[in-house]
Amino acid sequence: MTTSTAPTPSRLAARTVLVLRVLVGLFLIVASALPKLFGETYAVQIFDQIGAGDWFRYFIGIVELAGGIGLLIPALAGPAAVGIILLMVGAGITQVWILDQPAYVITPIIIGLLAAVIARHQFRYRRQAG
């Protein structure tokens, strides 16, 4: 009887995902969450166009901040990436149907795809290690 074990992720893949985690995490914190939380003019205008009010801007800013921090913590990176994917689906829907700016959907698509790569790697690696 032979036992088969799945190969561990290559060092290159692990390092690539680490870089992705840091870059996407920092992007979410610095370029996305902080402008919402500190009331940057453009962020306030976008949420006024959505019609949800300041409470929703703060809520999304906190969710983005939590997701960005979660990506930087190895044990939370997988669940954080899944949350970011869901957040980006909502952002994409908002860009297309509520704000009527389909050209701007590219950013949520890119961030969502990067988060999917991170989530896949994190959950695959966790399963192999556990």
What digits encode the pLDDT tens for the residues 27-69?
Answer: 999 999 999 999 999 999 999 999 998 999 999 999 999 999 9
What digits encode the pLDDT tens for the residues 71-114?
Answer: 999 999 999 999 999 999 999 999 999 999 999 999 999 999 99
With beta carbons less than 8 A apart as the criterion, state whether 31 and 128 touch.
no
